Amino acid sequence: MLLAELVSTTEEVAATSSRLSKIDALARLLERAEASEIDAVIGLLLAAPRQGRLGVGWRGIAALEVSHAEVPTLTVGDVDDSLETLAAASGTGSAAGRSRILGALAARSTAAEWDFLTRSMLGELRTGALSGVLLDAIARASGRVPAVVRRAAMMSGDLGETARIALTGADGDLEAVGLQVGRPVLPMLASTATSPTAALALTGEASVEFKLDGARIQVHRHGDEVGVYTRSLADITHRVPEIVEIVRSLPADDLILDGETLSLDEDGGPRPFQETMSRFGADVARELVLRPWFFDVLHVDGRDLIDEPLSVRLSELSRVVGEWRMPGIVTSDPDAAEQLSREALVAGHEGVVVKALDAPYAAGRRGKSWVKVKPVLTYDLVVLAAEWGSGRRSGWLSNLHLGAADPDGEFGDPGGFVMVGKTFKGLTDELLRWQTETFPAFETRRTQGTVYLRPEIVVEIAIDGVQKSPRYPGGLALRFARVKGYRPDKTAAEADTIQALRTLLRN
């Protein structure tokens, strides 16, 4: 398949607001793809090449001086081979080697193809919401049931693999994709409510549990082999040996657990989220011991529990993890839920999560079965730009331009972001320094006083609400926004949506 076919399809998708038209265009593209090209096609469309990190930055690409091809001859296979070589480059001279590989690829590309490749390699295609459309396109192209395709994608955590099985596999192959110990699945997500009482109105009788300001973890065990994964499915096993030892001590040979971890201070209270996350980085601060709390179990000793109601899963969870279970109660009483929320806050935690007892585990989905309640409204937004500060903040990148996800393309491309406010409140000197050092690597352009960024950095913002405003395209603005901290554990695809913020206008 020619790369030009991908380029023309993405242009066709971007040019229409009709979801059905997008699905049709992508389905036609997938029908033409060879089996060996499917993983690469999906990766390029999602701006997430199958090779993973390529070691490519905006400045390196901008420094290239090449003449592009006039006629498209580059194939998807050619691109995939080049990206494979690019990802493998390491050691002395690797920067120069990557530059040569990029230069050769750019010279073989037409201008339109190179623009597409650049944005795909840098994650700039704004396709955070395209995965949902692609799932329907895979179903259309393969003649499979959409629900089966979606479930396989959730179980595998790999859209390329799902597409390949759907398009080339035999009957029953897609249905056979299920939980596999050692292969992480997309985590179930929670919606938000303003109080435990409001949350219980959505769920009915529920498990009301502490909401920690910790890092989400998913743990897999097969015998003595243990894997620990982040919410984005990154493997951090070697960085959390204390969690590995705890999991090995549990009374089961095969396990998949969902939970959170954080570091505690000398008094047993939670340390700040950023300190917990430092354990996931390259420089492991081993003096910060992590403590896990598990709140769900998806598999125990050959038995998949993912489709069982939460009540069944919690019974197994208590049996398996004992003292490592997340604190909580089962209740339909709003007063009891409110009391537990107060206890969580007194203990230094964020609030509570209210979970419907009759709900299965919906991997990768955000619905009304899990509802988180925090006393302060916080949202995960994307940094679109930063302004140079003045006065005490002179010389630092300071005032942040904040964007909410626009998955349906109400205000631009589907999967893009719409600006909803600015803030520099809550930025410590340490954060100002970090922003100024880090943001230039994400720069796309700058004007006098403002540096514009690729929409990849997620920041947690506390607000007092939203208000109608003609200042921003989404028609609303944040009220009293302040920075709580950056969320390196989250991708831009997990940012809160403009629709979620809009519900605050109604409330």
**Of the residues 22, 211, 422, 490, which is catalytic?**
211
Q: In angstroms, what CA-CA distances link 177 with 153, 174, 452?
A: 9, 5, 41
Q: Which tokens sit at 19?
A: 């979801």
Is there a contact between 194 and 507 (Cβ–Cβ < 8 Å)? yes
Residue 211 annotated to the active site: yes
Is there a contact between 479 and 466 (Cβ–Cβ < 8 Å)? yes
- Alpha-carbon distance 422 to 444, whole Å? 19
- Write b or e for each residue in 313-343: b if 16 or more Cβ atoms lie within 10 A of its Cβ, otherwise e: bbebbeebbeebbbbbeebeebeebbebbee
SS3 311: helix
CB atoms within 10 A of CB 172: 7
Is there a contact between 146 and 136 (Cβ–Cβ < 8 Å)? yes
SS3 349: coil
Q: In angstroms, what CA-CA distances link 362 with 31, 254, 261?
A: 29, 21, 21
* Residues belonging to the active site: 211
